[in-house]
Amino acid sequence: MINWMGGWPAEGLLAEAEWQEKRQTSSVAAAEAIADRLRRLETEKRLASLVGSGQLGPYWRPADDPGQWLLTDDADEALRLATKAVLKPGDAILVERPTSRTALQLFARAGAAAFEVQGSGEGMDPEALAHAIAAFKPRAVYVSLTCSDPAGCRWSDERRAALLRSCAQAGVALILDERQSLTCDWTKNLAEEAETGPTAVIGGLPSGLVSGMRLGWLQWTGWEAAGEAFLPVPSAKRPDREREALEDREALLRYWSESSPIPALETLRFIYRTRHALLAERIEQAGIPGLVCKRPEAGSHAWLKLPDGLEGEPLLKAAWLEGVLFQPGAGYYAAAANRSRLRLTPVHSDEREISEGVKRLCQTIKSFTGRSI
């Protein structure tokens, strides 16, 4: 019978057996994707429990909201996701002076305007903060309570409580960049007995803790209670890279469950402290008037003041020829920059490198100031 009445043929260009094979392959891939998703959720849950326990250092845990967590490639990615979730073009955001250069760049890309709030190493001045909230109507405030970048300062309890209270009462979101908190040798619930509002918290592994491994996380609390949505959207990654990152994170948590992470963190903190101390000592011994290095409370960076009249950008060009690099300080300001500042990261250099680096830096400075070496 020749059937020209229409309908579907018994066979197609893709044979039934071949189609079933492809369906089976697709089903296997879907099952693997679901399994990977469950593994990621379990990994996030375990890390959140560990960080939120206070064993590793300062942490964020409001009494009424344990929050949600997302693991990221590093702390910069966590900050990028928080920025996109919180800010839109035209928004204002309040920052410390100085503050993270990376954060300022992300805020600018989001179309937001950053405004500095005066303060000290102990945090923003409460009156200046209240005035800035009234004047700029900010969408958010960005700070680092445990260890600021670049200065490595820790907020006082009084100023921290004033910040949380002011933001909660004004309905202003908080972005807390606590990526250096695991380098602190103290622990505290930063939200304890405090009035809190919508908050996004950035965290991360300290550099040098696990060779070649980067890991960040984003925690958010208080958004549902405030009737707001917080929807971080990670960038799509290749499945093989996603699985590799998952395996790294599982291996880290497995290692930490078999051997406590505390001894490794204590060792890292000791290395950081001794290398910061050596840097400050060598700079003081150099005897250059006006060159000042203040030891940070924690973290990997040191914040240097140059002699009067010197600026970081031209000094970097000359220092590069001497074989030493650093970050000029101008990029760490949202308003008028203090160009006589440098950010150094000495914690990954040994004693010989630190001594030689200070020697080369001082040679460069002396060439600018006209003093003999």
HSE-CB at 279 with a 13 A cutoff on CA atoms is: 29
Q: Which two tokens stand for residue 10?
A: 């018994």
DSSP state string for 327-350 = EEGGGG-SSS--TTEEEE--TTS-
Query: What integer is the mean pLDDT of 324-337?
Result: 95
Residue located via tokens 């690099």 = 325
Q: Which residues contact 254 (CB under 8 A, 6 or more apart)?
A: none
- Model confidence band, residue 2 (pLDDT cutoffs 50, 70, 90): low
- Quote the pLDDT of residue 154: 97
- What domains does the chain contain, in order, with CATH numbers? 31-258 (3.40.640.10), 263-369 (3.90.1150.10)
For the chain, give the mean pLDDT: 90
What are the structure tokens assigned to 172, written together? 């202003």
Q: What is the DSSP string of 279-345?
A: HHHHHHHHT-TT-EEEPPSSSS-EEEEPPTT--HHHHHHHHHHHT---EEGGGG-SSS--TTEEEE-
Q: Strands 199-204 and 216-221: what pairing?
A: antiparallel
Confidence of residue 148 (pLDDT cuts 50, 70, 90): very high
* For the ranges 91-100, 200-209, 309-318, the one whose mean pLDDT is highest: 91-100
Distances (CA, A) of 7 to 2, 19, 66, 174: 13, 20, 58, 62
Closest by CA position to 152, among listed 276, 268, 302: 302
- Looking at residue 327, its pLDDT comes to 95
Coil, strand or helix at 97:
coil
pLDDT digits (tens, 9 = 90+) for 37-84: 777 778 888 888 888 888 899 999 998 787 899 999 999 999 999 999
